């Protein structure tokens, strides 16, 4: 099956999955007074559903037409900002401090934006989406540091993996064997975030830890989606879908009475 056909199947799966997430959120949270954290998460999932519906309709009706600043780009920015707002509401007293992790995240986001522009040539869309996504990454990293979820060795390994695959993507063409090594490093990073999140769930850690790590796993997988094409893109999207029920579980835990 061609990547194009698989992508259309994936578009349908995206919609069905987000419909299920939104429905589960409505059933779980409807009729109960909830915190801003829960409300921001629900709004984010609704925005993601509308984004996926738009992209499915676009791929069916205008499969070969690229529109700068299309509705899905705006919708994705809304998802990132709403999830950032959810994390900010969870830690209202948090402030940015220029830790090594945060500085590296800013450099990673800047390099990613440059790479997207080189690939697509769409300056306005990539700058707008990239800046919002970069802010989202910084929020995730700040809260990961605040919750002390990773050791210094884990942060170092994560940084080496991320910057190595970025360099490989910059230096080599898509069909070069070194790019496959880059994809391997990138998917290892995404799988590691998923593993750590599932490990937290199995250990029944606090809701705050689960929220921070599951949202960060989503951010990691979305970064992989933006960096991928062809069959790699499909695999990255599937990993990204796995983070949605993990986020739902974490926010449901936050909504439980103490």
Contacts of 235 (CB under 8 A, 6+ apart): 187, 228
Instruction: Report pLDDT digits (tens) over 210-226.
Output: 999 999 999 999 999 99
Lowest mean pLDDT among 31-45, 125-139, 172-186, 241-255: 31-45
Q: How confident is the model at residue 28 (pLDDT cuts 50, 70, 90)?
A: confident
Q: How confident is the model at residue 258 (pLDDT cuts 50, 70, 90)?
A: low
Instruction: Report pLDDT digits (tens) over 192-211.
Output: 999 999 999 999 889 999 99
DSSP 165-233: HHHHHHHS-TTSHHHHHHHHHHHHHHHHHHHHHHHHHHTT--HHHHHHHHHHHHHHHHHHHHH--HHHH
pLDDT surpassing 90 at residue 67: no
Tell me the pLDDT of the chain averaged across its residues. 90
pLDDT surpassing 90 at residue 98: no
pLDDT surpassing 70 at residue 65: no
Lowest mean pLDDT among 154-158, 198-202, 208-212, 251-255: 251-255
């Amino acid at each position: 099956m061609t990547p194009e056909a698989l992508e259309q199947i994936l578009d349908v799966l995206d919609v069905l999955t987000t419909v299920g997430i939104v429905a589960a959120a409505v059933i779980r949270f409807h009729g109960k007074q909830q915190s801003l954290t829960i409300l921001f998460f629900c709004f984010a999932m609704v925005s993601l559903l509308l984004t996926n519906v738009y992209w499915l309709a676009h791929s069916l009706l205008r499969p070969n037409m690229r529109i700068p600043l299309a509705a899905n780009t705006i919708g994705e920015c809304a998802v990132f900002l709403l999830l950032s707002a959810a994390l900010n509401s969870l830690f209202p007293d948090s402030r940015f401090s220029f830790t090594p992790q945060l500085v590296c995240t800013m450099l990673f986001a800047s390099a990613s934006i440059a790479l997207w522009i080189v690939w697509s040539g769409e300056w306005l869309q990539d700058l707008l989406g990239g800046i919002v996504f970069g802010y989202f990454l910084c929020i995730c990293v700040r809260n990961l540091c605040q919750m002390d979820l990773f050791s210094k060795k884990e942060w170092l390994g994560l940084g080496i993996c991320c910057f190595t695959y970025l360099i490989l993507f910059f230096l080599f063409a898509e069909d070069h064997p070194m790019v496959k090594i880059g994809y391997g490093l990138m998917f290892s990073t995404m799988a590691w975030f998923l593993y750590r999140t599932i490990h937290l769930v199995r250990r029944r850690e606090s809701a705050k830890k689960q929220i921070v790590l599951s949202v960060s796993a989503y951010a990691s997988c979305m970064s992989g989606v933006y960096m991928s094409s062809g069959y790699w893109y499909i695999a990255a999207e599937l990993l990204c879908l796995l983070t949605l029920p993990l986020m739902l579980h974490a926010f449901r835990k936050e909504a439980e009475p103490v």
